[in-house]
Amino acid sequence: MTLLADPAETPRGTQHLSRFDLAPPRHFLLPALLLLLAEEPDHGYRLVARARALRFGPVDRPNIYRALSQLEADRLVEVTETATAGRERRVYELTDAGRYALRTWMGVVKEDRDSLDRVLRRYAAANTADAVVAQVVGGSTAMGGTAWSPVSPTSEMEGRLGVVRAATARNGGAPIPGRVETERHRFHVAPHRSAVLISARSTVGPISFGAMGVTGWVECDVRGDEVLVEGAPAAHLEVPIANLRSGNRLYDAELLRRLDTRRFPMVTLELQHCTPLASPRRFRVQGVADLHGATKPLEGTVVVSLGSDGNLNVNGDQMIDIRDFNIASPSVLMLRIYPDVMVNLQLEAAPGT
């Protein structure tokens, strides 16, 4: 797997920069085989398929048999000959030394995982568009968004807007000389750069579900590189919740079953009101959400900015209770997802007609 899998997404000017390959941890095949044999003794042919299911890079028969030979030479596994369908097969089984080695290896794996989790959390905390998209595309349950917290408006923003309104009024309603005029724009959401990420708590720890392919439009007033709210912004978004994935098939199947995605494959969001907050480019938005056949009011905080390419970027998150939409908490075996979930929405929209 290469660093940039889609050449169309390669930023300009980076085509000739150094590249590197993304790869699983080195030497993982040895502890992986010890783990599989701890679950049950097996022969090499079946171990190939079981090792591939772990999805830690390419696995072929020569690699498996070389690793088994090394483990046998180190006396971490022992071999017995069995006859299956008229053929002699070598069945591998852990020794006491193998179980000790596996326990030691799992300690190393946990340390590595903790270190990687710290890296992922720092990346997610940046809350950039790329960080959100990476969480969704990667299907990682270890990456969580930043905590949602409402920000109260202050008189500072209202004061600045009041100055503009007063100056415009003194000029007879005409544009102020030397000032960039306000224009109304409709931005069309780019599905390949827009995503929804749902971060939840569960009985087995944090878990995240993500989906790409958000569609719709956003309409607002723009002055230079500033997004304004005086002209009553509007937006209509459709989120394909049928695409939600966590990377775990059991969890995904249960979530989609509870959401009844065959009947309700989409969530629709309509913007009704928008208020500027004290922090730059931050707004309080209110609207309605149609999910699982229920229509409910929804509000939250978003950060809105215009990129140098003229695209509109919107990032926001909000805590919701899925029971408000008549959705029971998903549960699989020992896993139960709590009903209060954090929903993060990342949009990139291009100006159009």
353 residues of the chain, pLDDT tens digit each: 333 344 444 455 444 444 444 445 556 788 889 999 998 999 888 899 888 888 777 788 888 999 899 999 989 999 988 766 667 788 999 999 988 888 888 887 777 777 777 777 777 666 565 666 666 655 544 434 333 333 333 333 333 334 334 444 444 545 445 556 889 999 999 998 899 988 888 887 888 888 999 999 999 999 888 888 888 899 999 999 888 888 788 888 888 888 899 999 999 999 999 999 877 788 999 999 999 999 999 988 899 999 888 899 999 888 899 999 988 888 876 678 888 998 989 999 999 86
Choices 2.40.128.110, 2.120.10.30, 1.20.200.10, 1.10.3720.10: CATH for 129-352: 2.40.128.110
The answer to whether the beta carbons of residues 329 and 348 sit under 8 Å apart is no
Burial 79-102 (b: 16+ CB within 10 A, else e): eeeeeeeeeebebbebbeebeebb
The whole-number pLDDT of residue 86 equals 66
The whole-number pLDDT of residue 27 equals 65
The answer to whether the beta carbons of residues 208 and 141 sit under 8 Å apart is yes
Strands (E), 177-261: 183-189, 195-202, 207-212, 215-223, 226-228, 234-239
The full set of domain ranges for the chain reads: 14-124, 129-352
The answer to whether the beta carbons of residues 299 and 287 sit under 8 Å apart is yes
Which amino acid is residue 43, in one-letter code?
H
Choices 1.10.10.10, 3.30.450.20, 3.40.980.10, 1.10.760.10: CATH for 14-124: 1.10.10.10
